[in-house]
Amino acid sequence: MDIFGSWSLLVALSLFVHSPICSSDKAPNYSFMRDAAESPTTSYYDYIIVGGGTAGCPLAATLSQNASVLLLERGGSPYNNPNITRLSAFGAALSDLSEASPSQRFISEDGVINARARVLGGGSALNAGFYTRAGTKYVRNMGWDGGLANESYRWVEAKVAFQPPMGQWQTAVRDSLLEVGIVPNNGFTYDHINGTKFGGTIFDRNGHRHTAADLLEYANPKGITVLLHATVHRILFRTPGTTKPIANGVVYRDRTGQAHRSYLKEGSLNEIIVSAGTLGSPQLLMLSGVGPSAQLQAQNITMVMDQPHVGQGMYDNPMNAVFIPSPIPVEVSLIEVVGITGEGTYVEAAGGENFGGGGSGSSTKDYYAMFSPKATLVESNSMPKLSSAQPFQGGFILEKVMGPLSTGHLELRTRNPNDNPVVTFNYFQNPDDLKRCVRGIQTIERVVQSKAFARYKYADMSFEHLLNLTAGTPVNLRPPRSGPGASLPPSAEEFCQHTVTTIWHYHGGCVVGRVVDGDYKVIGIDRLRVIDMSTVGYCPGTNPQATVMMLGRYMGVKILGERLTKK
């Protein structure tokens, strides 16, 4: 970093990190948040941020300290919705297929059922809550300033990160990981380091979720407007008489279908920032005329700039879970413990009598509803028959392939931003990803067979039987196993291929170095940035949400620093 850049950051940090905010609103009573139908047909701001998600909320809160900010969110508020706020209701929002759902389901061309957020707070309002930082090597490789990154993480953690309760089942998984050699024991930490640890969570001790929307408590109420149910249809550009296009506004529609236009105020430092997520950001660029020319022509979209890399480099970390029925009750828990193996996989666990249910009488079976509404879990003959009033107890031990190395692409389906684009992730296309998955399944086998885990497993139930039990559940729409060996327990390779699901960590489509530069400015266009997971070509750590929230804060501080020094 040059002297000018360092001084810029120092000024920004001194003003916006260490100085207290004189006046702020508390969630959920934000005076600056309202329905888009109440907004004027034309408005002007210094910054227009498209997407009030995991990156957009901290970015908007930061920029509002010294500029006027419009934050446009296509969904509603996460507050006062128990399907979002309660830990015990995890999965209810993901399995809600209504148009009012905070989750919008999509199915990749690979046959894997997935979801994208449609709510203020983005994925942090839907996910399993695990909070962990990226590793120091990852921060270095991304070109981020380590000091500012750490300061930004702490800024996020002061509002939304907590230590999990560490119940008996999660502790047994931790002890099992240590027993099978996933060492050292790193205790409770937000840091990403090899070994076994308890990570953070965005659920507090009362089981209440805290999302990225809570970071808007940092915002200057006089400097920010948050509009809900505001779907951006396209970015506006000024092109005549310029060497390259200049972004200068957006067109969005409210829930009634009424069109509104918001423009940037005069000034070369004012910008439109797209934080619409891994699917939404490349989709919006293409709908606005920035993307592969063939796709734009196919949809009859006027081309602003031929950018063949938009929508390319799409990644999703394959996740495979093994269900472990338990002879004794298991406490309700989401992801708390993780084994960072050093072999290209992460091993995690979640479970409980009411896991994923969101209501009394629900059970672990409801976990599968997140992936397929038709999914049912076949009970083992060696298990006692359960009455309808008795929960199906147990938990999942899962492995996630790091990276990954396999890559896919995104294409427009229609010109309607409410429609999902066509997405292909090409799970296990790279054979190294499949090898990593197999190693992860082998680690799970050792964990299940360990002494530390013995009380949570039926003694006469082999690991092969557990694989067969899990593989018999339709968790995706990929072709089922067929042929003479279909009735036999699957091999680890077959299990990986046929039971692959998502852990919702998909990323790419506007990757740094291809679509945006190191400052997240869209290459070839002025006054336009993309700041979210679509810019990432490799998933940070065991869960990306902490790093995405950090990135929103980090870039907000950097942008304000530039604003101060260039005025």
Q: How far apart are CA 264 and CA 273, in angstroms?
A: 11
Euclidean distance between CA atoms 349 and 351, whole angstroms: 7
Six token digits for residue 217: 């408590």
* Helix spans in 375-534 (H): 431-448, 463-471, 492-498
User: What whole-number distance in Å separates Cα of residue 545 and Cα of residue 550?
Assistant: 8
The full length of the chain comes to 567
Contact call for residues 492 and 442 (beta carbons, < 8 A): yes
User: Any idea what the Cα angle at residue 255 is, between residues 252 and 259, rounded to 5°?
Assistant: 35
Beta strand spans in 172-283 (E)? 185-188, 195-198, 200-201, 224-228, 231-238, 246-253, 259-264, 271-274
Q: Is 505 a catalytic residue?
A: yes
Nearest to 249 by CA among 259, 238, 235: 235
Longest dimension (CA), the chain: 77
Whether residue 208 is annotated as binding a ligand: the answer is no
Q: State yes or no: 78 annotated in a binding site.
A: no
- Exposed/middle/buried for residue 202 (C-beta within 10 Å: 0-12, 13-18, 19+): buried
C-alpha to C-alpha distances, 369 to 124, 126, 470, nearest whole angstrom: 19, 14, 14
- For 61, residues 6+ apart whose C-beta sits below 8 A from its C-beta are 215, 216, 217, 218, 219, 224, 553, 556
- 505 annotated to a ligand binding site: yes
Residue 232 is assigned to a ligand binding site: yes
Is 515 annotated as a binding-site member?
no
Q: How far are the Cα atoms of 138, 400, 494, 513 from residue 518, in angstroms, in the given order? A: 14, 28, 40, 7
The verdict on whether residue 544 carries a ligand-binding annotation is yes
**What is the 8-class DSSP label of residue 76?**
B
Nearest to 437 by CA among 404, 400, 396, 464: 400
**H helical segments located in 341-462:** 431-448
The candidate with the shortest Cα–Cα distance to 434, out of 512, 477, 495, is 495
The single residue of 210, 409, 498, 505 carrying the catalytic annotation is 505
Binding site residues, as ranges?
Answer: 119, 232, 504-505, 544-545
Active site residue ranges: 505
Binding site residues for FAD, as ranges?
Answer: 119, 232, 504-505, 544-545
